[in-house]
Amino acid sequence: MKAIAVIPGQANSVHMTELGSPCLSSIPNGRGVLVQVLQVGVDGTDKEINAAEYGGAPPGYDFLVIGHESFGRVVEVGPNVRELKPGDLVTATVRRPGNSIYDQIGTYDMTVDENYYERGINLLHGFLTEFYVDDPEFIVKVPSGIAHAGVLMEPMSIVEKGIVQAYEIQRRLRLWKPKKAAVLGAGAIGQLATLILRLKGLEVITLARRKAPNHKSALIEELGATYASLEERSYADHAKEHGPFDFIFEATGSSQIAFESLQYLEKNGVLCLTSITGGSLTVEIPGDQVNLDFVLNNKVMFGTVNANREYFEMGVRDLATAECEFPGWLSKMLTHPVQGLDQYKEMMNLLINDSEAVKVYVDVSPL
């Protein structure tokens, strides 16, 4: 079976390799599910893994098969699988449970274990291959009506978690009816955050670097949100016009922007950080002023990573709602298809160099 892998620790090592076919019986108690991979999305994490900034090979291997954003079709199920059947369209969660109490109750995205296992990222092979086997606990059915957007399920789950966590945190207020939100970043994560917040009826401004019009700004405006360029005006100016914000969802990859946001939160507001900032940038902030403002106005900042099954299931429902509310919008997010695993060099090239790309994905097998 063909697979796209890297050698962890060795920069620019992406290559094609051979992997043995997965076996249904590798999952105990007749609970195996064999899935044919149809599409796999790639993102900044895959870029960082290929740059040797991140990632580990599974025990017994010197390579890691990458790809954690999967969409596929069930081919065969073990005798004790009732919840899925051959032909079902599915996605798969990424992290697998470890030992902590959070792992044991299904919230493995909240693990406090030092080492964690993530398919395509750390210690487990990913989905940029032809078939995989997993336990149905980690496989989520995708209705055929949204098959064309199934490859967006994993990034959608990340955004669902960030937004659900913000609402959970705000239960401290007994009543929280956010009206104004800022989304920072108009990549895949920023687009999906804008989508979900618009589905919730919030007024949203989405900030990115480049001037409008461009494809990302057009997508944002189709959702009835406002696109704002930081090349044209400062964040402070945009915040003066549109803020302060009850909710800020940060997804730029820039800790500079993340910390500048502290100043533009509304009283009782909440700031959600999602960027994986692998660098070593130091940011200066007006510490006393921000501290006082956070204390006197009951503000919250939190981080979020990964997503468990619950957030994938929410993602399915919101993708379906999105297709009704904004028909055709999800397809326009899928900007850069790559035909087949053989084209892995093009995949990595688009991922690294094409600033127009909202989502690069590989068509592994026909839908």
Ligand X SMILES: NC(=O)c1ccc[n+]([C@@H]2O[C@H](COP(=O)([O-])OP(=O)(O)OC[C@H]3O[C@@H](n4cnc5c(N)ncnc54)[C@H](OP(=O)(O)O)[C@@H]3O)[C@@H](O)[C@H]2O)c1
Min CB(362)–ligand X separation in Å = 16
Which residue number, 111 or 274, has a Cβ lying nearer to ligand X?
274
Is residue 187 part of the contact set for ligand X (CB under 6 A)? yes
If the CB atoms of residues 27 and 225 are measured against ligand X, the closer one turns out to be 225
Judged on CB neighbours under 10 Å (0-12, 13-18, 19+), 252 is buried
Binding of ligand X by 333 (CB under 6 A): no
Residue 215 is classified by DSSP as H
> Which CB, 33 or 184, lies closer to ligand X?
184
* 19 is an interface residue for ligand X by CB under 6 A: no
Question: Of 308, 347, 43, 339, which is closest to residue 191 (Cα–Cα)?
Answer: 43
Polymer length of the chain: 367
Nearer to ligand X, 200 or 336 (CB): 336
CB 216 within 8 A of CB 278: no
Is 209 a binder of ligand X (CB under 6 A)? Answer: yes
Q: Of the ranges 144-152, 301-309, 315-323, 339-347, which one interacts with ligand X (CB under 6 A)? A: 301-309
Contact between 189 and ligand X per CB under 6 A = yes
Count of residues that interact with ligand X, criterion CB under 6 A? 27
Let me know the angle formed at the C-alpha of 151 by 349 and 12, rounded to the nearest 5 degrees: 25
Span interacting with ligand X, options 33-41, 58-66, 122-130, 188-196, rule CB under 6 A: 188-196
76, 21 in Cβ contact below 8 A? Answer: no
| Residue 230 binds ligand X (CB under 6 A) | yes
User: 182 or 189: whose CB is closer to ligand X?
Assistant: 189
- Give the footprint of ligand X on residues 250-289 (CB under 6 A): 251-254, 257, 274-276
Select 133 or 358, whichever has its Cβ closest to ligand X. 358
Rounded to an integer, what distance in angstroms lies between the CA atom of residue 155 and that of residue 328? 18
Cβ atoms of 38 and 365 within 8 Å: the answer is yes
Residue (146 or 230) nearer to ligand X, CB: 230
Q: 165, 170, 306, 335: which one contacts ligand X (CB under 6 A)?
A: 306
In this structure, the number of other CB atoms found within 10 A of the CB of residue 189 comes to: 25
DSSP 251-300: -SS-HHHHHHGGGGEEEEEEEEE-----S-------HHHHHHHHHHTT-E
Of 127, 152, 150, 118, nearest to 276 by C-alpha is: 118
List residues near ligand X by CB under 6 A: 43-44, 158, 185-190, 207-210, 216, 230, 251-254, 257, 274-276, 304-306, 355
